[in-house]
């Protein structure tokens, strides 16, 4: 006889764990352990084996699936909860736009740091920003051109967004405008060499024991069922079919899985075309630190030969990403490198190898790294979500699932960008609602 539950939660990431705590319902997670892309792993120099916990000798580099995940913004109650569960350090963001051709670092956001550009470029950009006007064109390409003008677009915004969106920026809607703030008063001050912090992540938290400490302490408060991959969902019989053939009955589902994936699992179709997403190949790298390696937490790359758009420096946030013997010496670095692909793309192993070699060579040529101790590619299938202008797909898909008592919660389930703190909040709210409905 198959087990049957009043409610089931799909996905053991941050939102799913919070929902499980608030509702008491079991959380089914595909992987053996929870956390999703916010989980950590360890790799010894020269090894290709991922270890789930740090060895006593502390000789491994620590990485995160899908790159660095820093805790920014969020409701004060959620921040207080994070700090109660896992002692955190608060960091003031150090981030730049990097121009490889002249090895120039310009503070982020670029438009508020014009003083760091060549004087004639800065003056042209300032004149265009002062004359910028809104546009009725809803695409990201046109929105960026109208907002920032031709000089900054040619210099950075166009090539960066081409790489960041894997070319989708020409057709997707402008969104998340707070990521690229534009305050004319700050533009003028920045052009004079007096920039001020701006943007949604000027400060952020990170647990002193690593993000896994927060995940594990959330998980101990929830009913986690690991290694429960769902292959399909029979919405008529209200049954989950697992990867090993087992079936599980439910009355209500709360899902944190990507919205497009849930529609597929349920065998549903929408009239509106599915909104696009980008997948990201993240190279996690432990290496000897190069003599031009910056102290930034992350860099936005204007152009790269091998196609990546961002480089993050784990060990500039916290030294515990490095092997114990390498800490405090500034001779090693732990980094992640992001490259986007149109969602649904798949690279053959030999293509990943060629790209990895090219990216390593490029980082070496910039002086960021020298000898590499370990490199490990990780793949995030749904990494960034986008919307076509005027699309009703998200609303239609969400309504269609709700009609079958399936509620969606979290960043990818709702097809919107948000951070860890907001995912916690949404998970707790959804979980409490689920408990009241049971």
Contact 438, 420 (CB under 8 A): no
- 68-117: pLDDT as tens digits: 999 998 899 999 999 999 999 999 999 999 999 999 999 999 999 999 99
Domains and CATH numbers, the chain: 4-34+222-275+387-437 (3.50.50.60), 36-93+276-385 (3.90.660), 110-198 (no CATH)
**What's the mean per-residue pLDDT of the chain?**
94
Q: What distance in Å separates the CA atoms of residue 253 and residue 240, rounded to the nearest whole number? A: 10
Coil/strand/helix, residue 257: coil
pLDDT in tens, the chain (438 residues): 578 899 999 999 999 999 999 999 999 999 999 998 888 999 999 999 999 888 767 999 999 998 999 999 889 999 999 999 999 999 999 999 999 999 999 999 999 999 999 999 999 999 999 987 777 779 999 999 999 999 999 999 999 999 999 999 999 999 888 788 889 999 999 999 989 888 888 999 999 998 999 999 999 999 999 999 999 999 999 999 999 999 999 999 999 999 999 999 999 999 999 999 999 999 999 999 999 999 999 999 999 999 999 999 999 999 999 999 999 999 999 999 999 999 988 889 999 999 999 999 999 999 999 999 999 999 999 999 999 999 999 999 999 999 999 999 999 999 999 999 999 999 999 999 988 876
Q: What distance in Å separates the CA atoms of residue 191 and residue 140, rounded to the nearest whole number? A: 25
Helix, strand, coil tally for the chain in percent (to 5): 35, 25, 40
pTM of the model: 0.95
* Total Cβ atoms within 10 A of residue 175: 15
Contact 266, 401 (CB under 8 A): yes
Residue ranges in 56-133 assigned as alpha helix (H): 76-85, 119-130
Backbone phi, then psi, for 430, in 5-degree steps?
-65, -40
Q: What distance in Å separates the CA atoms of residue 144 and residue 230, rounded to the nearest whole number? A: 40
DSSP string, 31-97: SSSS-GGG-EEEE-TT----BSS--TT--SEEEETTS---B-S--HHHHHHHHHHS-EEEEE--EEE
Sign of CA dihedral 108, 114, 119, 121: positive
Backbone phi, then psi, for 57, in 5-degree steps?
-80, -15
Q: What angle do CA 273, 420, 224 make, to 5 degrees?
A: 90
Q: What distance in Å separates the CA atoms of residue 242 and residue 350, rounded to the nearest whole number? A: 31
């Amino acid at each position: 006889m198959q087990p049957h539950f009043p409610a089931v939660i799909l996905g053991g990431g941050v939102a799913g764990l919070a929902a499980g705590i608030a509702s008491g319902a079991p959380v089914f997670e595909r992987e053996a352990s929870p956390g999703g892309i916010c989980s950590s792993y360890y790799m010894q120099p020269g090894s290709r084996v991922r270890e789930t916990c740090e060895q006593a000798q502390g000789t491994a580099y620590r990485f995160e699936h899908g790159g660095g995940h820093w805790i920014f913004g969020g409701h004060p109650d959620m921040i207080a909860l994070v700090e109660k569960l896992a002692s955190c350090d608060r960091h003031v963001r150090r981030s730049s736009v990097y121009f490889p051709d002249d090895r120039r670092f310009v503070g982020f956001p670029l438009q508020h740091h014009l003083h760091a550009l060549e004087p004639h470029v800065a003056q042209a950009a300032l004149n265009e920003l002062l004359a910028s006007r809104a546009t009725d064109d809803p695409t990201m390409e046109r929105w960026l051109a109208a907002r920032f003008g031709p000089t900054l677009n040619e210099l950075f915004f166009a090539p960066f967004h081409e790489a960041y969106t894997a070319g989708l920026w020409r057709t997707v809607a402008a969104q998340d405008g707070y990521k690229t703030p534009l305050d004319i008063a700050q533009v003028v001050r920045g052009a004079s060499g007096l920039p001020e912090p701006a943007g949604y992540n000027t400060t952020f938290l990170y647990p002193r024991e690593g993000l896994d400490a927060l995940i594990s302490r959330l998980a101990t408060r929830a009913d986690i069922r690991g290694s429960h991959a769902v292959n399909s969902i029979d919405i008529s019989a209200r049954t989950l079919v697992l990867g090993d053939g087992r079936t599980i009955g439910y009355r209500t589902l709360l899902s944190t899985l990507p919205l497009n994936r849930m529609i597929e699992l349920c065998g549903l179709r929408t009239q509106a075309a599915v909104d696009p997403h980008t997948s990201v190949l993240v190279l996690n790298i432990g290496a000897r630190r190069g003599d031009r390696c910056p102290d930034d937490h992350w860099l936005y790359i204007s152009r790269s030969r091998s196609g990546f758009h961002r480089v993050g420096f784990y060990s500039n946030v916290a030294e515990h990403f490095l092997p114990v013997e390498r800490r405090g010496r500034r001779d090693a670095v732990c980094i992640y490198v992001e490259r986007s692909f149109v969602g649904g793309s798949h690279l053959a192993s030999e293509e990943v190898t060629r790209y990895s070699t090219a990216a390593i060579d490029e980082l070496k040529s910039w002086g960021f790294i020298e000898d590499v101790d370990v490199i490990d590619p990780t793949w995030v299938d749904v990494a960034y979500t986008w919307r076509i202008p005027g699309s009703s797909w998200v609303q239609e898909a969400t309504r269609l699932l709700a009609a079958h008592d399936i509620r969606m919660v979290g960043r990818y389930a709702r097809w919107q960008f948000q951070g860890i703190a907001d995912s916690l909040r949404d998970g707790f709210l959804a979980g409490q609602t689920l408990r009241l409905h049971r």
